[in-house]
Amino acid sequence: TPGGNGTTKCWDSERYGELAARLMNDGFPVVVTWGPDEDVLVKTVKQKAPEIREIPTSLEELVALCEGARLMVGGDTGPMHFAAAVGTPIVAIFGPTSSDRNGPFRREDIVVERRLACRPCYERDRCPLEHWECMKEITVEQVYEACRKRLLIADASPSLQAQ
């Protein structure tokens, strides 16, 4: 889910596209979801990963999609919290907010974030220092490796194998 309520909490949609392309190249099916006014983000993702499935979702559809997903990748947004609520494995990308405060809270889930002196700042629409380093410095490689690791953990989990 590349979107989010607040510009500073959004990882670059081109990077989501690069990540999706890498995961699909590894054989994982990838779906991108979006909410109102986020269709431009999806177009940017699709430029990097043209084969990706795109699904506009209502809240009910998003929860149902999370329930069946092997992994959810997204920022500190509502979809991440829905995924946590239904037990979906998560790789969360955090910028200006604190994962210690906002979750995800399962030990197995992975948060990709930069420990910077300026964060958390909790700004939604602007970077007070105007450098956006908390999100810009998170690389596709870091998130990709977190996804691979989280999928391995999920595959080894007896509770997920029993589903």
Question: What is the DSSP secondary-structure string of 139-157?
Answer: -HHHHHHHHHHHHHHHHH-
Structural domains in the chain?
A: 7-161 (3.40.50.2000)
How many H-runs (helices) and E-runs (strands) does the chain carry?
A: 8, 5
Q: Is 54 helix (H, G, I), strand (E, B) or coil?
A: strand
Please give the sequence-ordered ranges of beta strands (E in DSSP) within 27-109, or none if there are none. 31-34, 53-56, 72-75, 90-94
138-158 tens-digit pLDDT: 999 999 999 999 999 888 765
Q: Which residue has the higher pLDDT, 126 or 7?
A: 126
98-139 tens-digit pLDDT: 999 998 999 999 999 999 999 999 887 888 898 889 999 999
For residue 43, pLDDT over 70 is answered with yes
Average pLDDT of the segment spanning 5-33 = 88
